Structure 1
């Protein structure tokens, strides 16, 4: 295996809590046994991994990161902020009801440490996700959210992961473990953002979501890193019987961004709704690989991803639905639509159905198109300037998914963020946000 992470591997062994030693060693063994993917690796053949062709260092724990003016959602409820992988107590606060606990790995007592050790990796297939092994091999801290049976969290739990990009090539490890008891409910928001200083920060992030019988989780993951940021991460969910996972993902582009999303139905009656938006521009890159595993009967899933790719950017989407032999009476749908706003933009989309049961209802589809000239002409003939018309069409293309975000404060943060992303000037941003006719429109 490449030695580009040698220094962070060494630092992790020296700074991790003693009870994590077994987890680190497990990750090291699998990382040593694997190889860095390249263009000949099927699942990585469209990725440009040049951002990893350098040696990364561990974060200096004694240096305060210069974060500048990084904008991220301010939400009610509990918020934990990490800067360059280090906990920032002055920016964090915890407000949870009885029956819920939010614990950092580095502060876990003996009983909690034993729980975390037993649960870590139970939703991750490390043989298929090699960078999950690297995450374990460099693990020094993380967050454990545990919600007891029949407990309902009225307010979201927000995890904020900030990277500074100080000019050095630094490595940041992120780990989240969520365990929901039977019939519990919670909302979790993860936000990744950076100070676009021109420095390189490599984030290797893994989130594990374990849902008990009848549990419901609303999960949001926002990848707002831009510039030279590199992020290889994954979300791995295990759904017990009659549980529900509603998951929303947003990715702005950066030099390298690869996210694997895996949801496994392990109990009958489970449902997964997976929605996402990706918006690379310039020479940025975004890659989403999703897999929904239907391993038992009577489960449902719905997946919708939309991408708007501009300039010379590249997007990759690979969506897989895997119906196991025993998964009769499954209902699963997958839709991926892409809008190219430049003739130099590129998208590689591959929806997959792998079915081994004969009593199922499954559908999948993907489209790639440029902006509709008739729609553009219609707006132009009614006095709408070309730039404004293009923004209206782009914003309308994803507006349905944004409106579907159940967390209202988060939705209020996203709408102006996306309007600015398209408009690139405040006057047009305000006009788009005030334009009533965009509600529910599509391209």
Structure 2
């Protein structure tokens, strides 16, 4: 912003611009024509100007006003997804696709006893204001509808663009070079947000000046100015690495861990599995012990040798049980999930540090403690694998032929294999799982 903000005059070299707030706008009421009000307050608008319009006056004009008693109900109605919750504060994704506190429902700069909802479609609101100014003044301007928002990792609030028309909202610099000749590979500038923040500097929050005009950035304005609409600024869920708050992310990580039995042919990153093992060994364990060991089968040869030996042991057991050859073949086919996986993990239990009491009851309880700790470690592993984008299936088969597994893998005699975990990239998204009523599993005394 330059000192020319009062006059609107800007340097001709394109490296300076002016921002001024409009005076003379009346209190906006439902049914008012925002474009007409702006045209009356700024008859000197020029082609290439960018109009920055606070969303509150758009909401008022569009009748997005509710009694304050309905605030929580309004937040619920505007919420698509809860991102984070702390006490009474909710950060949510609203129906406009924006992630905001309280879904953008606001009690400021509105009469006492009322709250404002965001415009139903801020991009459509921006298009209507732009068309209205073209009809009233014959000018081609860009319009950005702004709202105040917090930001992850940063203190304080700033204005951002929630609606736009006739203005480039993103400036894609990828493929270009910086001043040192280095290639620009990821640089996409959020121009509309930068404009919104510049306008907030002159509008203020308490001065009653809800509209600002930027002059000197006409290169950003026009029907062909790139993606038209502030929706382009919203990062899609698949690309958002921080789409949940801490407690929500922990809960989702646990509940979204699913058994996956079909995998793509994509290789598994060994480093991702090692990170999951690092999470696994934080599980609780008795007597400050470390009862977990994880055998990583990263070569196809090691997996095949183990699975072939296990299959032969299983077939022997089934035949010993008197099963028909057809029944044996059918049961063996059910165990093929381990063969379909590009990576296997064999978790093992070790009893190092366990206590020996000399009677079956307490010694049995001691082993159970270690088994439970091993299960907690494997659960940590499965959840962490899911966090890495990997699917898994914990299969019990190695527990039925422990001697075979130890021999093939060359494991110590005191390592007890506790199943095998198939790991890979899921071939398809898991089917929806209905929520369980936790009360059915709770007893209160």
What's the TM-score once normalised by structure 1's chain length? Answer: 0.20
User: Which of structures 1 and 2 has the bigger CA Rg?
Assistant: 2
What's the TM-score once normalised by structure 2's chain length? Answer: 0.20
Judging by fraction of residues, say which structure has more helix. Answer: 2
Judging by fraction of residues, say which structure has more strand. Answer: 1
